[in-house]
């Protein structure tokens, strides 16, 4: 009997199964994903994994010179095994679960309502010095804000003098905004969390500000082009998108990021680390615009399956074998992101156990995120890898806001990981922002996050002062 028919894993079956899992509760979803991945492994066979355990295949050497490592996917002939070749190993098993360790379990926070705001780079740069930043913190205090996510690493530039990152933002070289934020946090009794961009390491908009050409990939990928991710056409940046991304499958990339967040946690007396851009760039498989084809990712996937992923079409025309391979490739990329979160969490829990760990993530449904950006954050929450999930649930109306967050705050439960929905202030009337905050106070959430300080004008500050006084009064009554 055809094994695909036996397990129901047809091309349409993959999509139907994943959509069904996406709509389940977290506990059932986590179990279903494990069972589903196990069935995939059973269909694919276990021989390759067992062989790898018995005699690991040496990892291929990747040239680190700019000339060799900047090559696009089409420039690696040794990897270009045809998808139609019989060398495509059907007996490959991809990692399906994250390491579960006691120190990774999210900690319960006794803090009352989290009233947080993203303190963005532009606001920090415009402050010019510690005195200017103090005025911003005074505005935060007046508005009732108690937590700030301070943008500390943006597009690979740090706002502080770093021994790990290649370059500090030249507009903050005359002072250390992160240290100033830590000092002001103590004065104003506000938590300070370092907000760190991870896999996105450039920005064409920032290039103009810094006087660099639009094509400049940033100091990291200029020095280490072998760390880059590519799209399926060999482009460093997907056409129409502004940011280059590193390859999450590259061990050196992962270690660099661990070293970077460890440097921040060691050097500064912060209260937390918030990870951003914990994903791949947005893709559209239907339009044949996909990403993740870095050298390391391609080599690792080839070793698992015998197939170079650049040769797997995102549109399979009903071919079950191609559908299975595409599903494997999508799961492989999602696992690169999820296992990095697990590694970062384990490191910080062990070496900096007092920190609150969070991630800024999209509030879209699971199925869409898995296929578009490979960001399965509910798995991270299910396993207690993070303390807070901060949703970028940006909406122009309260009804739209409610529709975005309801699946995550009313229909889901993530043990001790708190859900903190985000509200975008840009072009949002103060009255509408108030409505969204008041909605959250009727829901089981940890608080709210405002994006961003750059949009905290006088009207919004006045609204927040009033709504937060009311919130404090309600909390006091509940305690009594």
Tens-level pLDDT at each residue, the chain (480 residues): 333 332 333 334 444 454 555 455 544 554 555 454 444 444 343 333 333 333 333 333 323 333 344 444 544 434 544 444 434 554 455 654 554 443 445 544 445 899 999 999 999 999 999 999 999 999 999 999 999 999 999 999 999 999 999 999 999 999 999 999 999 999 999 999 999 999 999 998 888 887 889 889 999 999 999 999 999 999 999 988 999 999 999 999 999 999 999 999 999 999 999 999 999 999 999 999 999 999 999 999 999 999 999 999 999 999 999 999 999 999 999 999 999 999 999 999 999 999 999 999 999 999 999 999 999 999 999 999 999 999 999 999 999 999 999 999 998 888 789 999 999 999 999 999 999 999 999 999 999 999 999 999 999 999 999 999 876 655 555 555
Q: On the CB side of 167, how many CA atoms lie within 13 Å of its CA?
A: 16
d(CA 384, CA 316): 36
Q: Look up residue 210 and give its two tokens.
A: 């810094």
Whether this prediction's pTM lies above 0.85 is answered by no
d(CA 195, CA 193): 6
d(CA 431, CA 442): 17
d(CA 384, CA 397): 31
d(CA 253, CA 461): 40
Q: Give the alpha-carbon dihedral of 403, 31, 250, 299, to 10 degrees.
A: -120
Closest by CA to 357, choosing from 266, 265, 245, is 265
């Amino acid at each position: 009997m055809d094994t695909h028919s036996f397990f129901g894993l047809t091309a349409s079956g993959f999509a139907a199964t994943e959509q069904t899992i996406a709509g389940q509760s977290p506990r059932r979803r986590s179990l279903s994903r494990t069972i589903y991945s196990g069935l995939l492994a059973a269909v694919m066979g276990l021989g390759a994994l067992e062989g790898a355990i018995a005699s690991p295949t040496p990892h291929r050497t990747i040239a680190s010179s700019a000339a060799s490592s900047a090559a696009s996917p089409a420039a690696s002939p040794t990897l270009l095994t045809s998808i139609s070749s019989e060398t495509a190993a059907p007996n490959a098993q991809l990692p399906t679960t994250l390491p579960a360790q006691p120190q990774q379990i999210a900690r319960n926070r006794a803090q009352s309502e989290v009233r947080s705001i993203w303190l963005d780079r532009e606001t920090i740069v415009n402050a010019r010095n510690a005195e200017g930043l103090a005025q911003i913190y005074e505005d935060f205090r007046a508005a009732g804000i108690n937590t700030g996510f301070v943008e500390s690493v943006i597009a690979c530039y740090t706002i502080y003098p770093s021994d790990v990152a290649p370059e500090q933002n030249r507009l903050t070289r005359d002072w250390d905004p992160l240290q100033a934020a830590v000092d002001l946090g103590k004065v104003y009794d506000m938590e300070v969390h370092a907000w760190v961009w991870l896999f996105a390491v450039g920005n064409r908009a920032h290039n103009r500000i810094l006087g660099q050409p639009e094509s400049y990939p940033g100091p990291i990928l200029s020095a280490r082009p072998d760390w880059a991710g590519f799209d399926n056409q060999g482009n460093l940046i997907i056409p129409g998108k502004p940011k280059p991304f590193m390859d999450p499958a590259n061990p050196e990339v992962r270690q660099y990021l661990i070293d970077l967040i460890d440097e921040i946690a060691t050097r500064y007396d912060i209260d937390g680390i918030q990870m951003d851009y914990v994903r791949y760039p947005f893709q559209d498989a239907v339009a044949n615009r996909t990403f993740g084809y870095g050298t390391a990712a391609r080599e690792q996937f080839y070793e698992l399956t015998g197939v170079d992923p650049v040769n797997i079409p995102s549109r399979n025309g009903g071919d079950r074998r191609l559908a299975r391979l595409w599903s494997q490739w999508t799961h492989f990329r999602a696992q690169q992101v999820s296992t990095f979160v697990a590694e970062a969490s384990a490191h910080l829990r062990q070496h900096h156990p007092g920190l609150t760990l969070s991630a800024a993530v999209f509030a879209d449904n699971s199925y869409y995120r898995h296929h578009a950006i490979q960001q399965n954050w509910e798995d991270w929450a299910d396993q207690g890898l993070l303390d807070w999930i901060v949703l970028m649930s940006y909406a122009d109306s309260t009804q739209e806001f409610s529709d975005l967050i309801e699946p995550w705050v009313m229909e889901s439960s993530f043990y001790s990981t708190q859900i903190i929905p985000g509200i975008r202030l840009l072009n949002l009337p103060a009255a509408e922002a108030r409505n969204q905050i008041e909605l959250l106070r009727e829901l089981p959430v940890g608080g709210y996050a405002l994006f961003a300080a750059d949009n905290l004008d006088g009207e919004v500050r006045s609204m927040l002062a009033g709504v937060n006084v009311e919130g404090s009064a309600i909390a006091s009554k509940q305690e009594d």
